[in-house]
Structure 1
């Protein structure tokens, strides 16, 4: 595209700022002008969002309007995974619009948008609407959606890697199909900094998977990131733990030397924990903030505003700030603990500096020796520009059921036409006529085991084969309950304002954690020490406390170790020549392991067995992540019980699993035979809370169980109770119910990493290496240190773990005796 093809208003604006239009920004405009869909993969700081919006801005320039009035109605939809991201983009989009004097109106729409504004947006929409997948799906459920979207020209999907492979991606894929049917000339654009496999995303983006209609635009290379791994000044890299609190003094020193530092942790628990430790050493009283998803909207906005104005010296955050928030003057990004994946690390590093031509600086702080190896693997992957990510999976049937209901709320539909729409997306191209009829039957009656109950009758079919709502009120019920994100039931934490009334909200904590609190208990939250005054309804009333004893524990926040990083760590363990680049104590750790036992080589499954403290231990080096290791631990202990090996328990981390019992395991092979997935696994999942929890989620998403009725909301306990009852009925009378199938799919993939378990068992069948030792090995120490951690009182936990780690490490590293047989 020539300079002339870019409208002069845009050219002049770039020139006025001292910028040039980058090649990828020009190509996005070119693709749009050629009526093609486009996927842009470009580094953070490359002006991705502006590139995505450039064709929209161009359509409103004087040159292209050519004397005509700007068009009425919705022109461009922008979809992001986070509400905060939409607000951030609005700020950054309004600047070029105002400075160029373009006649474009921009608004946001999310769950936080007031209802009167939502109504007005449907009647008199802005030119550009910034929204989330859930809000878009709700918009499509209104009868006026056909009129609202009929003139839609473009949809821009930001940070597409963050949600396309999950259920929110399924919902968006269905919305794209629906929009394309309403506005056939609509063009799709998706943006990402960290897509590992562009081909898969191109296919996901394309209608009917037609790759000829989509262009891949690759951004200009930015300056390479500068990634450093922090090591202890004097002491050695810790054996166990993952909080990396050993680094607090060094971290504080870095914070005091930089203008602004962003400190990422992998869980909300760790965010509160690290914040507290930083505050304890904050002698200079530097302004340090905290940000995570459980804090109140007001608390998050306040911190975001302070950060944008450059008022904070450091901010401790979770994945809540992984994406898109554009603060150009962050000097340093810190990753506390293991990064878990190279794409995630790249995404976080990209929060620093936010300029393409200057390197972003990052500091990795490993919590233990395996995390040091993982940090090294992630740094080398980033240096090589290698990315990783989750694979696409078939779209969820519960999400499809929700979409069918949304379409019925908008207008009666003919089932063949809607099926064709649904199958035009990659996520649902697999849906055949038989599955489609099962989904329709479920939405219409709840399934044959539930069809006697009127409450499950949502849509009816007339003699012409047209489906419509069974009653107009079904539309309101659908809109109140639609959505994909099913949080653990949360209780509001409020400052006690006297006489048992709650004042300002600080955020939310999980029901399970709240249930363990009593008046007088203290805990740290939102960066404060709080004392419980009382628990009432769905609230915890608190006041400021003088001491802090406990920290909220959040479920489901554990990030999986990517296969890519796991493979890199395994390769490091057998690359003896490469050990020279490691610190002396890490090198010695690996050398003694190699001498006393063996290294788990690629393609192998190493199992070590040894006695310790009057029990018999086996450590399985899987490198398959915590989820898979947890599942494997449950399955192995069941098998041990059946074989009279008297198991005592197990503990897992991302790299290994330690199982113990009163009898020694002479041969682990029978405990790992592949039929464990057919036998014990199925029995275990069916009888555990796992499938019930998965069923609860799909029942809510699929619309079988409502969280909200007009004027009232169900508690988590009520929802669980009703889904448990239905679950038991379906298992007994309709085991092939579409929601049980959806729950199985969830339980097998998301909650247990069954695919990784399967490959692990295949490896065990082919190359299992069993080493019997007389005591703990060096490689086993990090997982062995975890045993008993949960049962240790909070105050003494660090001291006791330190003593245990020293004792285990001393035994493991002792080499002053005869060489032990492999």
Structure 2
């Protein structure tokens, strides 16, 4: 058992602190193979994770790298370095701490490889790159501990899968390596523990005192939310009053475009000139760092932000968090709430601001879920094979390897524990030859087997290209935005390539909270100038539009089953009662479908509560079935809760349309020729190393990469339909943007109990969908019928119809 050295006890005493029980427990369990610590934000979990390292290193005598710290965010690594520097300096400990991310200068990276610090703070991508070097065994020779911060965030993505494969490689290099995972929000501690541990080793789970319950409620506003939309402009006056009443406020948004628009409107209403800033991932790095610095110095009263500030940067002066728009995910909401009052045993204060009427219900359901400690989360499934392919190539960069040894290493990573040898060999064969249809091309002949059975790079020079393309983050194609007529062109950030292509000189848009005017596109850089206008276009920034989680959807349906809703505002209660009186409220074990005429068209509204992606897919599949049955659909629009379809004929019998086998068959046919499959293929092919976005010459533009991936996709579909990457693509599409699993869950929950209500007019629940953006047209018989009818009317007006021609004759 380890004890706390006197120098640490004196330091704690000088600060008026005492060591928390969970921090001491981490020190006691320092020799466990793996430990997961779940502690509230502000509970000192970072110090708990590092305490065994600091105690070890305080005694001196350790040369080289002792502890590796891995976080999802570069900014978080820099923040931890600052926080570690304080106790190390004040206790005069002989410890070097450095960070290594994509922003670290190349000269420092070279020095770190030659002379590693005692503690290195990095990201999954930088760690994967380090393991690819031939001198990796020397770099990690003395490594004793790995600390993975915010492990819940990494567990939800391919970045986490890549990290766990890298940890498996480190464990081979350092058999006695100890693993530590830190998190404040975990819905299934056992699942995270299995991910963290070396399979089949156990992982201890320590849970700290969760502290007081958060002070969380909905923001009261004089004006009711609008029927549709996500901007929440109606709440600006009330939000400003809250900013004035608090020291520092974080205002979270679900998308970057909404954050830009809200910041713009907030600034226009900010008559007291309160210092406020904006922070999201599409802004230039220097601008983000300026905002972070101003926050740390306490110079900002509010910061409008997105997921870029979800995780544990320690800003003690934040005393309020405001979530604009329904959170969509309870776990994400809890994480964001934790940004307020970053102190132990101090309740976090947060306010929810629904962006529209239906989000009032969702926000109320989310509040109840937080109070019940009911976090949501979907099982990840097996480790993705495109990430495994990249890992095999990374391993080859470091030197020759044996397939049996690498397979054993890979299956020690939790997500890959059930990987079959056949699937591993298929990935190895792909890395070696590119697969059956591509093996004739030299560029995909990357690995070769030596006489002794080991595998190595066919051309050692290819290691550089592989290293340049390490990573699993697939950013949407973006272009840099710079100010024109300034020395060097001041960088502002990035916008999507598709949005840039839609601009003409003189168009205005928002970026970094300011309105700029598009001037020109030069050498893949968008040149802009300042504009004093007040009504800009809005840049369509990359970033996920979150779908409401399954658990939250279930809670909403449970709320709708109540007789009354005294906890809701009067206008929301009246809306729900009116829906019940005029139609019906959706139920958990049934599927409600409304059918009604409006504006000369037949409409169908399907209340699936399956999340935005699944409802969008449902719209595609149902309109396809309606087209086949002669119901002539014209288009549809979807939200997280429902899909509205319009066309020329009413739906009279939903059973054959919603038959699970028929929907799945329709999905297969739709996927076969759909552009979404090519988009998904491009992402997986890039991760797996078939397509290189980065080359020694230059980074490919989105159009160049799309062109090459589309050719590859079409080639494989035609000549090698069983290719590994096509199988990966289909699997990724099904659980990604299409989210067909949610549709199947919904159909299973309903079990054929479908209520089709034929009504005389638009219903209260359907009305907001008429105001939703993102309508999808359906090309088919309805368009031809309308064209024929319009042609007949025009001919009749012109006297050119058959009767008119006969009378003239």
Please, what TM-score do these two structures have when normalized by structure 1? 0.93
SS in structure 2 at match of 1:519: coil
CA distance in 1: counterparts of 2:621 and 2:666, whole angstroms: 6
| Residue from 132, 145, 153 that aligns with 2:123 | 132
Correspondent of 2:236 among 235, 248, 264:
248
Segment of structure 1 superposing worse, 684-693 or 503-512: 684-693
SS state at 1:611 partner: strand
Q: Check conservation: 1:157, 1:189, Cα contact below 8 A.
A: yes
How many Å separate the matches in 2 of 1:236 and 1:515?
37
Is 1:258 the counterpart of 2:249? The answer is no
The answer to whether the aligner puts 1:743 opposite 2:729 as a matched pair is yes
What is the Cα deviation at residue 582 of structure 1?
1.6
- 1:679 and 2:665 are equivalent in the alignment: yes
Alpha-carbon distance, 1:384 to partner = 2.1
How has the CA–CA distance of structure 1 residues 506 and 49 changed in structure 2, closer, same or farther, with 3 Å as cutoff?
same
> Which residues of 2 match residues 163-202 of structure 1 at below 5 A?
163-202=154-193
CA distance in 2, matches of 1:658, 1:721: 34
Q: How far apart in 1 are the matches of 2:577 and 2:131?
A: 61
Shift of 1:323: 0.5
How much does 1:727 deviate? 0.7
The answer to whether the Cα contact below 8 Å between 1:165 and 1:393 also exists between their aligned partners in 2 is: no
In structure 1, what is the equivalent of residue 538 of structure 2?
A: 551
Shift of 1:556: 4.5
Deviation at 1:335, TM superposition (A): 0.4
Which residue in the other structure is 1:647 paired with? 633
Distance in 2, Cα, partners of 1:343 & 1:222: 17
Which of 107, 113, 117 is the equivalent residue of 1:122?
113
Match of 1:668 among 634, 654, 657: 654
How far residue 124 of structure 1 moved from its aligned partner, in angstroms, is 0.2
Matching of residues 129-528 of structure 1 within 5 Å: 129-211=120-202, 214-233=203-222, 235-497=223-485, 503-528=489-514
For 2:547, the equivalent position in structure 1 comes to 560
How far residue 57 of structure 1 moved from its aligned partner, in angstroms, is 0.7
| Range with bigger deviation, 510-519 or 770-779 | 770-779
Give CA deviations for 1:555-586 in whole Å, capped at 9, x if unaligned.
Answer: 45201211111111110000114x12222111
Query: Secondary structure of 2:742's match?
Result: helix
Q: Give CA-to-partner distance per residue, 1:166-219, whole Å, 9 cap, x none.
A: 2111101101111111100000000111110001111111111433xx110001
Does the residue aligned with 2:492 lie in a helix, a strand or coil?
Answer: strand
Distance in 2, Cα, partners of 1:298 & 1:555 = 19
Are 2:220 and 2:238, in contact at CA under 8 Å, matched by a contact in 1?
no
Q: What does residue 560 of structure 2 align with?
A: 573
Aligned residue number for residue 15 of structure 1? 13
In the alignment, which of 24, 36, 41 is matched to residue 22 of structure 2?
24
Distance 1:750 1:635 in 2: 16
Is 2:40 aligned against 1:56?
no
Q: Is the 8 A contact 2:484 2:529 kept in 1?
A: yes
Checking the alignment, whether the CA contact within 8 Å between 2:590 and 2:755 is kept in structure 1 is yes
Q: CA RMSD in A?
A: 1.5
Assess if the C-alpha contact under 8 Å between 2:282 and 2:541 holds in 1.
no
Render the CA deviation track for 1:85-118: whole Å, top value 9, x for unaligned. Answer: 1011111111111112111101111111111111
Q: How far 1:221 moved relative to its partner?
A: 2.0
Q: Whole-Å Cα distance in 1 between the matches of residues 41 and 205 of structure 2?
A: 17
Structure 2 residue aligned with 1:692: 678
Encode CA deviations 1:525-578: one digit per residue, 9 max, x unaligned.
11111011111121110110121420101345201211111111110000114x
With over 3 angstroms needed to count, the CA separation of the structure-2 counterparts of 1:37 and 1:84, relative to structure 1, is: same
Deviation at residue 733 of structure 1 after TM alignment? 1.4
CA–CA separation in structure 1 for the residues paired with 2:405 and 2:225: 62
Q: Mean Cα displacement is larger for which, 555-564 or 433-442?
A: 555-564
Secondary structure of 2:438's aligned partner: coil
- Answer yes or no: is the 8 Å Cα contact 2:515–2:530 preserved in 1: yes
Between Structure 1 and Structure 2, how many residues are aligned? Answer: 776
- Distance (Å, rounded) in 1 between the aligned partners of 2:397 and 2:16: 50
CA contact (8 A) 1:275 1:290 kept: yes
* Deviating more after overlay: 732-741 vs 566-575: 732-741
Q: Which residue of 2 aligns with 1:43?
A: 40
Displacement of 1:674: 0.3
Q: Structure 1 residues 787 and 615, CA, compared in 2 at 3 Å: closer, same or farther?
A: farther
SS of match in other structure, 1:679: helix
Q: Does the aligned pair in 2 maintain the 1:45–1:356 contact within 8 Å?
A: yes
Matched, 1:113 2:104: yes
SS of residue in 1 equivalent to 2:489:
strand
SS in 1 for 2:156: coil
Aligned partners of 2:553, 2:200: CA distance in 1, in Å? 31
3-state SS, counterpart of residue 5 of structure 1: coil
Structure 1: runs of 5+ lacking an equivalent: 792-822
2:785 is matched with none
What per-residue deviation string (whole Å, max 9, x for no partner) do you get for residues 611-654 of structure 1?
11111111111111100011111111111111111111111111
1:819 corresponds in structure 2 to: none
User: Any conservation in 2 of the 1:153–1:183 contact (CA below 8 Å)?
Assistant: yes
In 2: Cα distance, 1:82 partner to 1:289 partner: 20
Residues 210 and 402 from structure 1, CA distance in 2 versus in 1: closer, same or farther, beyond 3 angstroms? same
After superposition, give the CA deviation of every residue in 1:785-812 in whole Å (9 maximum; x if it has no partner). 2168899xxxxxxxxxxxxxxxxxxxxx
**Inter-partner Cα distance in structure 2 for 1:335 and 1:25:** 31
User: Any unmatched runs of 5+ in structure 2?
Assistant: 778-809
Aligned residue for 2:313, secondary structure, equals: coil
How far apart in 2 are the matches of 1:427 and 1:150? 26
Residues 602-611 or 76-85, more deviating: 602-611
CA–CA separation in structure 1 for the residues paired with 2:376 and 2:405:
37
Q: Tell whether 2:704 aligns with 1:724.
A: no
Q: Are residues 789 and 395 of structure 1, via their aligned partners in 2, closer, same or farther at CA, if it must alter by over 3 Å? A: closer
Whole-Å separation in 2 of the counterparts to 1:412 and 1:161: 34
- CA distance in structure 2 between the partners assigned to 1:566 and 1:746 by the alignment: 23
Q: Contact 1:388 / 1:562 at 8 angstroms: preserved in 2? A: yes
State the Cα distance separating 1:77 from its structure 2 match.
Answer: 0.4
What CA distance in whole angstroms lies between the structure 1 residues aligned with 2:269 and 2:463?
A: 55
Contact (CA 8 Å) 2:134, 2:398: kept in 1 or not?
Answer: yes
How far is 1:706 from its partner? 1.0
The residue number in structure 1 matching 2:694 is 708
Give the conservation status (yes or no) of the 8 Å contact 1:446–1:456. yes
Q: How far does residue 54 in structure 1 lie from its aligned partner after superposition?
A: 0.8
Q: Could you list the structure 1 runs, at least 4 aligned residues long, displaced by more than 6 angstroms after superposition.
A: 788-791
**Take 1:552 and 1:23, find their aligned partners in 2: how far apart are those partners?**
48
Would the aligned equivalents of 2:256 and 2:542 in 1 still touch at CA under 8 Å? no
Shift in Å, 1:755:
1.1
| TM norm structure 2 | 0.94
- Match in the other structure for 1:542: 528
Measure the CA separation in 2 of the matches of 1:265 and 1:404: 38
Query: Once the 2 structures are TM-superposed, how far is the Cα of residue 84 of structure 1 from its aligned partner?
Result: 0.7
Quote the offset at 1:603 in angstroms. 1.6
Distance in structure 2 (CA, Å) of the matches to 1:520 and 1:422: 54
**2:371 match: secondary structure:** helix
Between 1:761-770 and 1:746-755, the stretch displaced more is: 761-770
State the partner residue of 1:773.
Answer: 759
Partner of 2:783: none
The alpha carbon displacement at 1:165 in A equals: 2.7
Listed one character per residue, the Cα deviations across residues 312-331 of structure 1 (whole Å, up to 9, x for unaligned) are 11100000100111100112
Q: Kindly indicate whether residue 764 of structure 2 is the aligned counterpart of residue 754 of structure 1.
A: no
Equivalent residue, structure 2, for 1:73: 64
